[in-house]
Structure 1
Amino acid sequence: MNILKAILEPIKNLAITIIAAIIGLGLLYLAWSIFINQDASKFF
């Protein structure tokens, strides 16, 4: 059980990091789109 936890912990941390990166890039892309278009009305 201890070995399994030692294997799964880094995988879980990696998954969290990847998900956070995807969300971060998505928000960055959305902000960039608004900045480029200068038309935030279609997002709200």
Structure 2
Amino acid sequence: MEAAEVAGTDDPEADKTVESVIQPGLTIGDRSIRPAKVVVRRYRKL
């Protein structure tokens, strides 16, 4: 996976988890040709 965007979250348990997939990855056989592009949640304490 490749983190293409970061989304904020108020939940510390959701830190560094995938919120959504922007573009799915491409695999041919056992080889990964293109990693998935995803939005990753990031917890920030205020």
Q: TM-score range by the shorter chain?
A: under 0.3
Larger Rg: 1
Identify, as 1 or 2, the structure richer in strand: 2
TM-score, normalising length: structure 2: 0.19
TM-score, normalising length: structure 1: 0.19
Identify, as 1 or 2, the structure richer in helix: 1
